[in-house]
A and B are shown apart, each in its own frame.
Chain A
Amino acid sequence: MSGLRKGGIGTTVVLAAGALVWISPLALLVVTSLRPLSDFIGTGPLAWPEHFTWANFSEAWRVGNFATTYRNSAILLALKVPVGVLLSAMLAYALAKLRIRFRRTIMFGVFLGLTIPIYITIVPVFIMLRGMGATDSLLGLVGPYLAFGIPFEVLVLQSFFRQLPDELIEAAKIDGAGAWRIFWTLILPLSLPALVTVAILDAVATWNEFLFALIVLNSDANKTIPVGLLNFQGQFANNNTGLAAGILIAVVPILLAYVVLQRWIVGGLTAGATKG
């Protein structure tokens, strides 16, 4: 017993078994996506495939219109994330280092946005976008996406900025640097890890957003990945292997990004939650 505890083998086995069960839906998805439909129907969803094929992916890619939805989601990311991070960093800088009036009121008002469900804004936002002629356009999504990203981004960034030593800023001021130059040449470079984290989390959230995209985007040419996936799910209801391939096509970028960038994702989530 004590020997087991020393090496942690008992715990490792329990955790590994748990992790296998936990991840089994995804594992099953991968295996299913690689087998022919006839094989799946013939031997059942849990049997090891007798044949493997890539055909499900090409069919799902074509029918699911993924070339278009991928492009649209990528355009949204490119428009939204840099602007969102910059606006949030500027606001966070004002709150953390610039002695702004009504600071606590602003912080309270902005952080309260974390609690507001997106769906309370959809009717007025839809009317606004219609007035601006921005319905069924990716551009129309940028405003709401920016607004709903700001509370979390500002929360994380202002707490990071506050830890930067004031002496550095004072020294830069003595050298004649203004607030704008301090922001660009001091605050932003020193905060690179926090900025990267916030940008990654923001990108994940943007890539995954569903409700606004569902309401605003009508034509197939403008749909993003989550909305496209929902349509695809309806079309492929009886094609289990094709459906598995389509779901995988939709989630692979996020999975890859997570595996590669998980240090920042995990760090950002815990920092955003615990630092005040």
Chain B
Amino acid sequence: MATATASLAVRKKKKYGGLTPWVFALPGLAVYIAFLVYPSLSSLFFSLTDWDGLSAGYHVVGLENYRAMAEDPVVTRAALNNLIWTVVTITVPMVLGLTLAVLLNGKARGKPLLRMLFYTPGVLPLVSIASIWGWLYNPDYGAVNAALRAIGLDGLTQPWLGQNSTALAAVMVPAIWLRTGFPMLLYLAALQAIPREQYEAATADGATRSQRFWHITMPNLRPAHYIVLALSLIDSFKVFDLIYATTYGGPGTATQVMGTWMYFNVFQYYHAGYGTAIAVVITLVAVAAGIPYVLSQTKERDS
């Protein structure tokens, strides 16, 4: 009996590394749990309270905050804006990025420089991107209106960020500007991994240019499409900085998204309970959308 447990222990020790791995894993895991996992879970709890964010006391009100969200017209608007934001700032950069990648994979000169220029907006702080575009959109002294006047389209000049009809579209432009570089890089890496022989064989068989694109290029890009889509989706739900720093969610509620509406509820209207409920909803959507990608990253060829 004693030897049986001992040998079981030995076998277990062989399969796993015992305590040593935990010595390496725990510091990182502790920080991760303390500052990400635990706060996320406590937000679940705060979302069930009427806490104002300032006073010491609060009551548990159950799902009241979630019920209130359903009746809050700003939440409806914000959710719709999040949806529009997600669709547009994923689709447009994907299409632009793929186009650029295909062109950059051709015989152009100076490819490293061109690639660098197209990716540059992607490294800038979101606040600085907001400042740059706020500056370009300035109704009187902005370059956007000045450019329209210069080509004789004076009638099209607008207060781009200052009116309901154009504000959301206007804040999506900088998002597209900064996000096109990433799919371009991924597609370029994927294109360069396609074996030349596939194209040579197809050309020998008399395939046209568009046939080669649809029958060789596109199937080979499927994994890249998946990754771009998954990462963009995860990214899109997080939108906050750009909108906060360009329009502050306005004018009115024209550019309000869940992230900014959460922020205003917590830090300006002192409805911390309600604000966290808004954050919980968008987080659940983001996590659900991200799970397939996370699973694909944990898959392993077990030895």
Contacts and interface: CB of A to CB of B under 8 A. Distances in A.
Interface residues of A, number: 100
14 contacts: A9-B109, A45-B146, A98-B20, A107-B297, A111-B294, A121-B40, A124-B40, A124-B46, A210-B127, A210-B245, A227-B127, A230-B127, A233-B130, A246-B131
Nearest to B224: A274
Contacts of A76: none
A255 B147 CA distance: 26
Contact of B240 (A8, A25, A211): A211
B275 interface: yes
Contacts of B73: none
A44 B143 CA distance: 9
A210 B300 CA distance: 35
A23 B118 CA distance: 7
A226 B128 contact: yes
Interface string B23-52: 111011101101111111011001000000
Interface of A: 5-9, 11-12, 14-16, 18-19, 22-23, 25-26, 28-29, 40-41, 44-46, 87-88, 90-91, 93-95, 98-101, 104, 106-125, 128, 143-144, 146-148, 150-151, 154-155, 162, 179, 183, 204, 207-208, 210-211, 215, 225-227, 229-230, 233, 240, 243-244, 246-247, 250-251, 254-255, 257-259, 262, 265-266, 269-270, 273-274, 276
B110 A11 contact: no
A203 B39 CA distance: 24
Contacts of B234: 114-115
Given A15-B114, A25-B133, A123-B266, A255 B120 contact: yes
Contacts, number: 299
A90 B26 CA distance: 9
Q: Which of A120, A124, A274 is packed against the most chain B CB atoms within 10 Å? A: A120
B22 interface: yes
A171 B29 CA distance: 29
Identify whether the interface residues of B are mostly helix, strand, loop, or mixed.
helix
B227 A208 contact: no
Contact of A147 (B36, B190, B227, B300): B36
Contact of B132 (A101, A207, A247, A259): A247
B17 interface: yes
Contact of A274 (B36, B109, B120, B227): B227
Given A16-B110, A123-B46, A147 B17 contact: no
Interface residues of B, number: 103
A227 B128 CA distance: 10
Contacts of A215: 267
B104 interface: yes
A19 B118 contact: yes
A258 B241 CA distance: 21
Nearest to B46: A123
Contacts of A255: 120, 123-124
B35 A88 contact: no
Interface string B151-176: 00000000000000000000000000
A98 B223 contact: no
Most buried by A among B133, B241, B295: B241
B125 A251 contact: yes
Interface in B218-254: 223-224, 227, 231, 234, 237-238, 240-241, 244-245
B61 to A, nearest CB: 16
Contact of A233 (B27, B118, B134, B272): B134
Contacts of A26: 120-121, 132
A87 B185 contact: no
B195 interface: no
Contacts of A7: 107
A6 B107 contact: yes
B186 interface: yes
Contacts of B237: 115, 117
Interface stretch (B2-10, B84-92, B198-206, B285-293): B285-293
Contact of A123 (B123, B272, B296, B298): B272
B66 interface: no
